[in-house]
Amino acid sequence: MKSLNVVIVMLFMAVGLVLTSCDKEAVETNNNETVVNSDSDMESSFEDIDDLASTILEATESNSGGRIAGEADDRVCEGAITFSGDANSGTIVIDFGAGCEDSYGNVRKGKINIAYTGGRFQSGSVVTTTLDGYSINDIAIEGTRTLTNITESANDYPTFSISLTGCKITWPNDDVATRTVSKVRVWKRASSPINDEVWITGEASGVTRRGVAYNTTITDSLVYKASCRVSTRGRLALAGTKIIETENKIITVDYGDGNCDRRVSIVVDGKSENVNLD
């Protein structure tokens, strides 16, 4: 009888260890996905802001005297844009007011302030985007984004260095994430703007909304395409790889080979898993 009791106790202990191990693995997997999602969420949010600023700048340059004849993007409500300056330098304010809804159902609030010097495609030109009380779907985003044209030749694709400072993202539940960026953006223009691609390389660091500090290095250019928008808040990369390092993890993220979807592969400790980004 004692032997039977010992066997039963050992059986329960073994089951407990298995369950504990499974729970731990599930928690770690969830944490890995949270880190990847947080990094991608911040990346897509600022890609959306860059894309919007670029669209408005192009509309400004293409109109006589730098004036904007009409709204250039369905993310911007009527009368939201004010402009001061000319084609070579000036300021643009996009004021979403108390709320401006786009065709995807996103609601933007606050202001995006754009200051530029030099024509966008001139080497040395600078575009500085500063957010003032800006939010999308009540997710508040702060920071200053500076794009400097570093194109070396007229035969090259327009190339820009990117720096992001003072970045803070606050969710409605008061979760907070921070981020700094040092990257290079290559704009591969096509005959039709819908086929334009943006290739990003470089590094980022910050703290996720769960308080996890991380460093990100792009190991194979992240590719964004104008025609691919699978996330409501902004475009996600459809190709490329990056490595995200936390205190105790190295996470490799592979965006695939060009399919327009939210699916990525993450590899941690030699284990691979396919996940869908939020």
Query: What is the C-alpha separation between 155 and 85, in angstroms, rounded?
Result: 29
Please check the confidence at residue 164 and state whether its pLDDT lies above 70.
Answer: yes
Q: What angle do CA 68, 72, 78 make, to 5 degrees?
A: 80
Residue 158 DSSP symbol: P
pLDDT of residue 33: 76
Give the pLDDT score at 11. 46
CB count within 10 Å of CB 80 equals 19
pLDDT over 50 at 67, yes or no? no
Instruction: Label residue 182 by pLDDT band (50, 70, 90).
Output: very high
Taking all residues of the chain, what is their mean pLDDT, rounded to a whole number? 82
What is the CB neighbour count within 10 angstroms for residue 272?
A: 10
Task: Convert the pLDDT of each residue in 72-82 to its tens digit.
Answer: 577 888 888 88
Range 53-60 average pLDDT: 79
pLDDT tens per residue across span 88-127: 889 999 999 999 998 888 899 999 999 999 887 889 999 9
Give pTM, 2 decimals: 0.79
Instruction: Give whichever of 61-70, 217-226, 234-243 has the largest mean pLDDT.
Output: 217-226
Report CA-CA distances (Å) from 195 to 52, 192, 234, 238. Answer: 16, 6, 16, 13
Cα angle for residues 66, 128, 116 (degrees, 5° grid): 25
21 vs 3: which has the higher pLDDT: 3
pLDDT of residue 105: 87
- Looking at the chain, list the stretches that DSSP marks H as alpha helix, in order from N- to C-terminal side: 2-62
Does the pLDDT at position 165 exceed 50?
yes
Q: Do residues 83 and 60 touch, judged by C-beta distance below 8 A? A: yes
Q: Which residues have C-beta within 8 Å of that of residue 49, sequence separation ≥ 6?
A: 112, 129, 131, 141, 145, 234
pLDDT at 170 over 90: yes
Split at pLDDT 50, 70, 90, the class of 8 is very low
Q: Is pLDDT above 90 for 3? A: no
